[in-house]
Structure 1
Amino acid sequence: MFQISARAPFALTLIGCSLLVGCFGGSAEHIERASVSGTVTFDGKPLPAGNILFVPDVDASGNPLRGKAVQATITDGAYTIPAEQGPAVGNNKVQITATRKTGKFQESDGQKIEIEKQYLPAKYNASTTLKQDIAAGENTADFTLEAK
């Protein structure tokens, strides 16, 4: 038969607390974010409306950066993302999208909806070549896009 020591409840409590800290991120890594704002022009004019997405890329060693992609709305060529919601510090890929109405319609749930089409070249979104190095603090990132 087993004999339980008077120290057993204390030991079990200590083990339980250690497991909880390990399982629930007691050593969670902090991802540094920064604010970014700027302008986006297309063929020399402010982009009337669109979205800009910053996606963490790789560090100087080629290792993937941690963090989530963050997005902002572009209005009259300008966008702003505050630090608390901003992109991860380091290299980020940038995707910029903008759509136009096509004059064509489709039916969805009994309603006619006008179809919109992406009009910026894929090199700025689906196959982006845009990158931005985000530094700690405040950043300005302006993008000049062309139809070519």
Structure 2
Amino acid sequence: MLHVSRSTFSALTLCALTLSGCFGGSQDGLERAVITGTVSFDGQPLPEGSIQFIPDLDAKGQRIHGKAVQAIITNGVYSLEADQGPVVGANKIMVNATRKTGKFQNFDGVKTEIMQQYIPAKYNADSTLRYEVKAGENTADFSLQTR
């Protein structure tokens, strides 16, 4: 029978937890954080959509490493746990939401309704939104306007 001391067991447990993404870590080795918040559009909670956090530039103008992460917005609320959260540091924010247009197209014999992005480009394709993600837990609320 293998005998492991209590201190060795504790050290191995700590290593396993760190490697599994606890303490804000991630599989890519970058520090990530918990983030929750709300998104409103023209004063109303955004019914449904998505929000992306895209690593931006640091204070020296260097690109922050890491992949963009996305959360689903439901009734104006979104959240991401640390293991799937945004990279700590400056992030560009993109918010997307679509609605039905009442127009249809045929794709390989299947009639499909055309969806339209209704959030202005300044919040997605040409986003001016930024958020500084801190280590730990973050709350980031965004109030978007048509104009």
**Displacement of 1:71:** 0.2
Runs of 4+ in 1 over 3 A off after TM superposition: none
Q: 1:38 — aligned with what?
A: 37
The Cα RMSD (Å) is: 0.9
CA distance in 1, matches of 2:108, 2:70: 28
* CA-to-aligned-CA distance 1:15-38 (integer Å, 9 cap, x gap): xxxxxxxxxxxxxx8210001010
Instruction: Look up the match of 2:106.
Output: 107
Deviation at 1:110, TM superposition (A): 1.6
TM-score when scaled to structure 2?
Answer: 0.80
Distance in 2, Cα, partners of 1:30 & 1:99: 34
Task: Give per-residue Cα distances to partners, 1:67-94, cap 9 Å, x unaligned.
Answer: 0000010000000011000110000000
Partner of 1:11: none
CA distance in 1, matches of 2:96, 2:85: 18
In the alignment, what sits opposite 1:66?
A: 65
Look up the SS of the partner of 2:86 in the other structure. Answer: coil
1:108 shift after superposition: 1.3
Cα-to-partner distance string for 1:109-139 (whole Å, 9 max, x where unaligned): 2211100000011000000000000000010
The gaps in structure 1 that reach 5 residues or longer are: 1-28
SS at match of 2:87: coil
Which residue of the partner structure matches residue 9 of structure 1? none
Answer with 1 or 2: which has the greater Rg.
1
Report what 1:52 is aligned to: 51
Alignment of 1:115-130 (within 5 A): 115-130=114-129
Question: How does the TM-score come out when normalised to structure 1?
Answer: 0.79
Structure-1 residue corresponding to 2:138: 139
- The AA in structure 2 aligned to 1:130 is L
The percent of aligned pairs where both chains have the same amino acid is: 59
Structure 1 residue 41, shift from structure 2 partner = 0.3
Unaligned 5+ runs, structure 2:
1-27
Give the letter aligned to residue 44 of structure 1.
G
